[in-house]
Structure 1
Amino acid sequence: MNHALILPVLLPAVVGALLVLAARHDRVLARVFGVASAVLLLLIAAALLATASDGAIRSYELGAWPAPFGIVLVLDRLSAMMLLLTAVLGLGVLLYAINGWDERGKHFHPLFQFQLMGINGAFLTGDFFNLFVFFEILLIASYGLMVHGGGGLRVKAGVQYVVTNLVGSSVFLIAVGLIYSVTGTLNMADLARKVPHVPAADQALLQAGALMLLLVFAVKAALVPLHFWLPATYTNAPGPVAALFAIMTKVGAYSIIRLYVLAFGADAGEAAWLAAPWLLPAGLASLVIGMTGVLAARSLGQMASFAVIGSMGMLLATVSVFTPQALSAALYYTLHSTLAAGALFLIADLVAERRGALRDRLAPAPRFPQGELIAALFFVAAIAMAGMPPLSGFVGKLLILDGVRDSAHAAWFWALVLSTSLIAIVGFSRGGSIVFWKSHAFESAPQPSRRAGALPFVAVGGLLAGLVAITVFGGPVHAWLNLTAAQLFAPADYIEAVLGIAGGTQ
C-alpha cells in the first residue's frame, strides 16, 4: 500500500491543527509552518504526479477496509494533475499573503491549511459520500477566509455564499440518497460497475439522482444560470482568498468529469452520457455571459470574476463533447485558466492596495507606486486570459477548436469562442487603459501606508511563469494530457485498481 497517497490530505490537516493549538498568536511561527507545509505539499504533489505518470492507477484503503465498504483514496493521472495545480496555486497565494496581508485576522493560516485539505481530499476521494465530506471541509474553511478582515460588503457576500452552498449541500445529500437507493453503493468504481445493470424500473430514480448531482457540481463550477453567487463573492473576497478560490470552481468541473465519464459514460446503458445535453448549452451560455461581464465590469476584481465564469463555460462546454481529444484540450485549458485567474486576482489586489479609496475600480486616479511593473503584470495576465498569442490561452483555445471540430455543434463552438475572445480583448484593454494608462494624466499623490515588499511580485510572477511554462512545454504537456484523457475513457482500469476485479464483472 502506497501511504504517500494520504499525505496531501494528512499534511494540511495536521499543520492546520498545530497552527490553531500552538501558533495562532505567533505570526512568525504561523508563517514558517504555513510556508513549510505549502512547499512540502508541492514536493509531494510533484512526486505523486511522477508516480501516476506510469499509467497505473493506485488506491489507498484507510484502515485496510476494502472497497466498496471502506474509505478509499485513488490516484490517477487526473487527480495527480489537480493536486499539483492546487499546490502551485496555494504556494503562490501564501507567499503573497505573508507580506502582511495575513495580519488582518488571527485564523488565516489554519483556515488556509484546512482549505487545502478539503480541496486535495475532493480530488483524491474514491466515493461520493466522502466527496460530500471534503466539500463541507473546504466550504467551511472558505466561509472563514471569505470574511477574513471584515467589512460590510464582504459579510453580505459571505452570507449569500453560505446560503447558496448550504442549499447545494442539501441537494447533494438527496442526490446520493437516490443513487444509493437503486445501486446500493456510493463508491465511484462500484457505481460504474453497477449502473449498467440498473433495471429499467429504477432508471428514473438513478437518472434523477445523477442530474441532481450535476446541478450541485454546476453550482460549484458557477455554470449559468447557477453562477449568480460568484461575481459578488469573488469580487468582495480578499484578493489572496479570491485567487485561491480560482481552484474551487475546478473542483466542480473535476467532479463532473469524474462522475459522468466513469459511471455515466459509454458503458452506462440507458444513462450513457447523461450530462452532455445539459452541459453544452449551459457551458456556451456561461462563456458568453462571462466574457460579456468582463466588458461591462466596473473593477479589476469584477473583471477577473466574470473571466472565471467565462473560462468555466469554455471548459465544460468542451467537456460536454465527451471525446478523448476534447477532454485533453479541456484539461490543458484547466491548467491555464486556473493560473491566469489566480494571477488576475492578485494583480487586482496589488492595485487596490495602492489606490486609496478608489481601490481597483475602473476610474482614472493619480499614479501609484510600482504602477509600471503592475501594469506589465496585468498585460501578461490579460492577454493570457483573453486567449491572445503567444501565451497558453491562445494554445488552449486552438486545442479546444481542434478538439470539437468533429462535434455536431462545432459551428457554435467556433463562432462563440472567437467572438467572446474579441469581447474579452476589448474588456481587458478598456480596464487596463483606464487604470494604468489614463492614470498618467494625473500627478503622483501620496499613497499607501502599506509597505511594498518583493513577495507579492514573486507570487504573481510565479503564477505567470507557470503560464509561460505550459506554453513553452505545450507539446509534452499536451501529450501527457492525451494519456490522461485516454485513461479516463478506460473505466475498467479504474474499477480493477479500486475493487481488484475486472470492470465488467457484476
Structure 2
Amino acid sequence: MMMWLKDHLAVLPVLLPAITAALLLLMGDHGAGSRSGHGHRKLLWARRLSLASAFLGLLLAAWLVQRAGSGELITYRAGDWPAPFGILLLVDRLGALMLLLSACVALPVLWYACGGWDAHGRYFHALFQFQLMGLAGAFVTGDLFNLFVFFEVLLIASYVLMVHGQGGARFKAGLHYVVLNLLASALFLIGAALVYAKTGTLNFADLALRVPQVSGPDAALLQVAAWVLFVVFGFKAALMPMAMWLPNTYASACAPVAALFAIMTKVGVYAILRVHGVVFGASAGASALTVEPVLLPLALATSLTGVLGALAARTLARLVAWLTVASVGTVLAGLGLFGTAAWGAALYYMLNSTLVIAALFMLAELVAAQRGEAQGLLVPASPLAQPTLLGLMLLLAAASTAGLPPLPGFIGKLMLLEAASGHAWAVSFWAVVLGVGFLTLLGLARAGSILFWHVRDDAPAAASAGGSAKLVTATASLLLASVLMSVAAAPVQRYTEAAAVQLMDLSTYAEAALPEQGGAAARSTRPYDGRMPSPPAGAQ
C-alpha cells in the first residue's frame, strides 16, 4: 500500500477531493431544505465525509512538503505518456508549499461552514471539494494548458459558491465575477496558443529550455504571449489596475466562501512566478523578463490602493477585502524584485497573509452577527456578546497584518525590506511597505474602536449569546497557525528560500520531467523548427 501511495503521490492531492466530490454528489442534495429527517442525516454524513477528506488532504500535503523539502521532484505521468506529449504532474518545494497552505485554510474554513452555512444552499460540500481539486491541480500541474484546465475547475466551483446563500448583492457581484473570469479564460487560451505556436510545447520544464532558443520575429510574438498571460494572471491575482472586481466580490460572499477565496488570488501569484519568473525569466533569451519593468511598480500601486480602500471602507468585510488586495500587492512586489532572496521572502509573507486574511473574513461575520441591524457597518451599535474574545482575536490579526513584531507579518516584511536593499526601487519599496503597514494598523484600529468601544448603551443587546464554539475555534485555529509561523520562523524561512532557489535549477526540472528527451543537455541544443513534435516510439 505504501509503495502504491509513493508511486501516485503527485496525483493524490487532485484525486482525493475529486473522488470525495463525486461521492457527495451520489449522496444527493444535502443543502437548503434538508434540515429535518432523512435530509438532515445526509447533511451530517456529507459534513463527516468532507471534513475527513480535508483532514486527509492536510496530512497528504504535509507528507509532500516533507518529501519535497529534500529537493526531490515528485512526478506523475498520466497514462504513462512521457512529457511533453502527455499530462505531467510535478510536485516541487513550491507546489508542495502551496498545497499545504490550501489545506491549512480549507480545513478550518470547512469546519466553520459546518456551523450552518453549508445548509444555506445546494451541494455546498461537493462544490467545496471541486474547488479544492482545482486548487491542487493548479499547484501540481507541469504544463500551461492543464494550468488552464484546473483554473476552470476551481472557477466553475467558485461561480456557484459565490452566490451560496443567495441574496441580491451576491447575485450582482457574482454576475460580474463570472463575466470577467470568462473573458480572462479566453485570453488565457489565446496566450497559451501563441506560446505553443512558437515553441511546440506547453510543458513548463520544456518551455524553460525552448524559449531561450526563439529569436527574431518569433521572440516578439512570444513576448506578446507573455503579456497576454500576464494580464490573465494579474487579473486572477488582483493586480492593479485589474483588482477592482475583488473587494465587492469578496465582501458580498458568505464568510466561509470569502475565507476560502483568500487562497484563490495566490493561484495568480503562483502562475506569475512559475511562468514569468522562470519560463520568461532571466535565462529566456530574447523573451527574457518581459514584465520586469512593470511588475514592481504595479505591485506597489496595488498595495497602496488596497490600503487606501481599506481606510475608506464602511463595513468590516469590505475592509478585509481591500486588505486582501494590499497583501497581494506586497507579495507581488517581492516577486517584482526578481531575485531568489526576494522570492523566498515573498513566499513567507504570503503564507501568513493568507491565513490571517481568511481568519479576518470569518471574524468579520462573528462580529457582525452580534451587532443587530448594524451588522458589519462601521457605526456605533449595541454591545457585543463576546467583546473580549473577539476583540483580542481582531487585535492579534491586526498586529500580524500590519507587521508588528514578533508576529510573522513583521518577519516577512523584514525579509522583504532586506531583499530590496541595493535595488533601484529600494527607497520606493521601503516607503510603500512601511507606509502600508502603518495605514493598515490605522484602519484596523479605527474599525476596532468603533466596533468594540463606540457602543450604544441605550440599545438592547443584539444577541443573547456569542458565536458557537465551532465558529470561534475555526477562526482561532487560523490565527494560531499564523502564530506558529513565528515559532517556526527559521525552518519556514529556509524552506521558502530553498523553494525559490530550486525554481531556477532548470536542468534538474528537465531531467525529472523530460528523461526520455535527454534532459536539458539535449533539449537546449534543439530549437523548435515550427513542426509538430513526433510522439515517442510505440505511442498510440
Normalising by the smaller structure, the TM-score range is: over 0.9
One-letter identity of the residue aligned with 2:21: G
Moved more, 270-279 or 459-468: 270-279
Alpha-carbon separation, structure 1, partners of 2:10 and 2:101: 16
Is the 1:224–1:285 contact (alpha carbons within 8 Å) kept by the matching residues of 2? yes
Question: Offset of 1:443 from its aligned partner?
Answer: 4.7
Say whether residues 1:468 and 2:483 are aligned partners: yes
2:520 corresponds, among 500, 503, 506, to 503
2:194 corresponds, among 157, 162, 178, to 178
Question: Offset of 1:394 from its aligned partner?
Answer: 0.8
- Which SS does the other structure have where 1:503 is aligned? helix
Question: Offset of 1:446 from its aligned partner?
Answer: 4.2
Cα distance change of structure 1 residues 467 and 160 upon mapping to structure 2, 3 Å threshold: same
TM-score normalised according to structure 2 size: 0.92
What RMSD, in angstroms, separates the aligned Cα atoms of the two structures? 1.3
TM-score normalised according to structure 1 size: 0.98
Residue equivalent to 2:184: 168
Alpha-carbon separation, structure 1, partners of 2:480 and 2:200: 47
How many corresponding residue pairs?
505
Is the 1:23–1:30 contact (alpha carbons within 8 Å) kept by the matching residues of 2? no
Residue equivalent to 1:17: 22
Q: Which ranges in structure 1 are unaligned for 5 or more consecutive residues?
A: none
Alpha-carbon separation, structure 2, partners of 1:450 and 1:487: 51
Moved more, 486-495 or 304-313: 486-495
Alpha-carbon separation, structure 1, partners of 2:521 and 2:230: 25
Moved more, 16-25 or 29-38: 16-25
Is the 2:385–2:465 contact (alpha carbons within 8 Å) kept by the matching residues of 1? no
Q: Deviations over 1:215-255 (max 9, x none)?
A: 10000000000001101000101011000000000000000
> How do 1:149-228 residues align onto structure 2 when only pairs under 5 Å count?
149-228=165-244
Say whether residues 1:432 and 2:448 are aligned partners: yes
Question: Offset of 1:390 from its aligned partner?
Answer: 2.0
Is the 2:269–2:332 contact (alpha carbons within 8 Å) kept by the matching residues of 1? yes
Alpha-carbon separation, structure 2, partners of 1:450 and 1:22: 34
Question: Offset of 1:371 from its aligned partner?
Answer: 2.5
One-letter identity of the residue aligned with 1:428: L
One-letter identity of the residue aligned with 1:101: W
One-letter identity of the residue aligned with 2:251: T
- Which SS does the other structure have where 1:4 is aligned? coil
Alpha-carbon separation, structure 1, partners of 2:368 and 2:22: 32
Residue equivalent to 1:108: 124
Alpha-carbon separation, structure 2, partners of 1:5 and 1:424: 39
Residue equivalent to 2:332: 316
Question: Offset of 1:57 from its aligned partner?
Answer: 1.1
Alpha-carbon separation, structure 1, partners of 2:129 and 2:458: 43
- Which SS does the other structure have where 1:168 is aligned? helix
Say whether residues 1:415 and 2:420 are aligned partners: no
Question: Offset of 1:159 from its aligned partner?
Answer: 0.4
Question: Offset of 1:406 from its aligned partner?
Answer: 2.1
Residue equivalent to 1:43: 59
Residue equivalent to 2:393: 377
Residue equivalent to 1:244: 260
Alpha-carbon separation, structure 2, partners of 1:481 and 1:225: 28
Is the 2:215–2:286 contact (alpha carbons within 8 Å) kept by the matching residues of 1? no
1:230 corresponds, among 246, 258, 264, to 246
Alpha-carbon separation, structure 2, partners of 1:353 and 1:169: 37
Residue equivalent to 1:5: 10
Return structure 1 stretches of 4+ with deviation > 4 angstroms: 448-451
Percentage identity across aligned positions?
Answer: 49
- Which SS does the other structure have where 2:90 is aligned? strand
Is the 1:158–1:233 contact (alpha carbons within 8 Å) kept by the matching residues of 2? yes
> How do 1:39-78 residues align onto structure 2 when only pairs under 5 Å count?
39-78=55-94
Alpha-carbon separation, structure 2, partners of 1:2 and 1:22: 30
Alpha-carbon separation, structure 2, partners of 1:342 and 1:140: 21
Q: Deviations over 1:307-330 (max 9, x none)?
A: 111111111111011111101100
Is the 2:131–2:153 contact (alpha carbons within 8 Å) kept by the matching residues of 1? yes
- Which SS does the other structure have where 2:307 is aligned? helix
Is the 2:383–2:462 contact (alpha carbons within 8 Å) kept by the matching residues of 1? no
Alpha-carbon separation, structure 1, partners of 2:339 and 2:389: 42
- Which SS does the other structure have where 1:5 is aligned? coil
Question: Offset of 1:190 from its aligned partner?
Answer: 1.1
Cα distance change of structure 1 residues 448 and 106 upon mapping to structure 2, 3 Å threshold: farther
One-letter identity of the residue aligned with 1:477: V
Say whether residues 1:392 and 2:397 are aligned partners: no
Is the 2:262–2:358 contact (alpha carbons within 8 Å) kept by the matching residues of 1? yes
Moved more, 272-281 or 429-438: 272-281
Alpha-carbon separation, structure 1, partners of 2:177 and 2:213: 39
Residue equivalent to 2:289: 273
Q: Which ranges in structure 2 are unaligned for 5 or more consecutive residues?
A: 1-5, 31-41, 524-540
Is the 2:204–2:279 contact (alpha carbons within 8 Å) kept by the matching residues of 1? yes
Residue equivalent to 1:351: 367
Say whether residues 1:456 and 2:471 are aligned partners: yes
